[in-house]
């Protein structure tokens, strides 16, 4: 089942030249990084990185994610519902994240991809 939808933007900032906006299903559970339990469901995330050839370099603690559609298990219907929310979520969360992180989008164009994990 396809459970990840990604939009990749060109960006510029300190150690950043790409930005992924992703809708993905996560199983939830205990997070050793935060010391909290996370919900099971579909998440919206913003992930900056530097791409050089085939290599990607991520900065620790530089992105963000939020559960936008809690659900007990993944399904095609729920995935499509979460993906239909991406434009509204991007308009809601991305401007504040860009300002806080000091990252700029080069243009508004993006490449999109779907994948299974």
% pLDDT > 70, the chain: 97
In this predicted structure, what is the pLDDT of residue 1? 63
Closest CA to 1 of 79, 114, 116, 81: 116
Distance CA 37, CA 100 (A): 26
Q: Name the E strands within 27-81.
A: 29-31, 36-38, 41-52, 55-58, 64-70
In this predicted structure, what is the pLDDT of residue 2? 64
Helix, strand, or coil here: 11? strand
Instruction: Return the minimum-mean-pLDDT range out of 27-36, 82-91, 98-107.
Output: 27-36
Closest CA to 10 of 40, 38, 51: 51
């Amino acid at each position: 089942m396809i459970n990840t939808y990604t939009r990749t933007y060109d960006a510029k900032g300190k150690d950043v030249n790409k930005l992924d906006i992703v809708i993905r299903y996560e199983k939830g559970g205990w997070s050793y990084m935060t010391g909290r339990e996370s919900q099971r469901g579909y998440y919206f995330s913003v992930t900056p990185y530097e791409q050089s050839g085939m290599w990607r370099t991520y900065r620790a603690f530089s992105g963000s994610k939020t559960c936008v559609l809690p659900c007990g298990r993944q399904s095609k219907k729920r995935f499509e519902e979460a993906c239909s929310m991406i434009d509204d979520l991007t308009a809601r969360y991305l401007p504040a994240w860009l300002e806080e992180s000091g990252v700029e989008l080069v243009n508004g164009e993006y490449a999109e991809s779907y994948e299974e994990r």
